[in-house]
């Protein structure tokens, strides 16, 4: 398997991923591959389906200073297995990009604070209650694992415009 980045409209980005029920070397290997690809692609987070792995796994590293010199927090690095958002509160405007939508940057509403239940690589349950940038990244990546792309948060009219422009730029890139 090549673990190439999957870009929209790849079908794997539209599906809910399978629950992980193996907490063994295979899982550790998949997580290693995901971190490696995320850093190569200069992403802040990566959901497994974005590189063709059909399971509910996400990795993230919010130390954005590494890539774009953005004002950043020290950064948290984590891998989450079977993550679920169990509580949301507040609302913020969030400007986001996505490795699976090259060139697209949009501003959408997100919850300000989230509580996430997940498992670690050993299968132990963990709970994360957070706000700020980490809360945004968690929402974006958990959405991927449920087959929900970030463009879904745009109004239908805006979504159509963004997608038309995106599809056009894909064609241009393919021609180049
Ligand atoms: Co994304």
Q: What is the pLDDT of residue 137?
A: 97
Closest CA to 133 of 62, 46, 39: 62
How far apart are alpha carbons 143 and 84 in whole angstroms? Answer: 9
pTM of this prediction exceeds 0.75: yes
Active site residues: 141
Give residue 87 CA to ligand 1 midpoint distance, Å.
21
Place of tokens 């950064």: 75
Confidence label for 75 from pLDDT (cuts 50, 70 and 90)? confident
Extents of the domains making up the chain: 11-175
How far apart are alpha carbons 176 and 162 in whole angstroms? Answer: 21
Q: What is the CATH number of domain 11-175?
A: 3.90.45.10
Distance set, CA 128 to CA 19, 37, 88, 118, 134 (Å): 19, 24, 12, 8, 10
Q: Is the pLDDT of residue 71 over 80?
A: no
Give residue 160 CA to ligand 1 midpoint distance, Å.
18
How far apart are alpha carbons 47 and 139 in whole angstroms? Answer: 11
Structure tokens at 61: 């590293």
How far apart are alpha carbons 47 and 175 in whole angstroms? Answer: 28
Mean pLDDT (the chain, rounded): 94
Place of tokens 């949301």: 88
Give residue 138 CA to ligand 1 midpoint distance, Å.
10
Q: What is the pLDDT of residue 130?
A: 96
Give residue 43 CA to ligand 1 midpoint distance, Å.
9
Q: What is the pLDDT of residues 106-124, one digit of tens each?
A: 999 999 999 999 999 999 9
């Amino acid at each position: 398997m090549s673990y190439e980045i999957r870009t929209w409209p790849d079908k794997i980005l539209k599906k809910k991923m399978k629950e992980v029920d193996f907490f063994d070397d295979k899982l550790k290997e998949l997580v290693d591959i995901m971190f490696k690809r995320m850093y190569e692609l200069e992403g802040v987070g990566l959901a497994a389906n974005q590189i063709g792995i059909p399971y509910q796994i996400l990795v993230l590293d919010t130390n954005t200073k590494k890539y774009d010199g953005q004002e950043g927090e020290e950064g948290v690095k984590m891998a989450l297995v079977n993550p679920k958002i169990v509580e949301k509160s507040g609302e913020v405007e969030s400007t986001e990009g996505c490795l699976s939508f090259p060139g697209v940057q949009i501003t959408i509403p997100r919850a300000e604070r989230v509580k996430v239940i997940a498992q670690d690589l050993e299968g132990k349950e963990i709970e994360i209650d957070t706000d700020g940038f980490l809360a945004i990244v968690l929402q974006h990546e958990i959405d991927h694992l449920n087959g929900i792309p970030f463009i879904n948060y745009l109004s239908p009219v805006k979504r159509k415009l963004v997608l038309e422009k995106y599809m056009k730029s894909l064609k241009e890139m393919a021609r180049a």
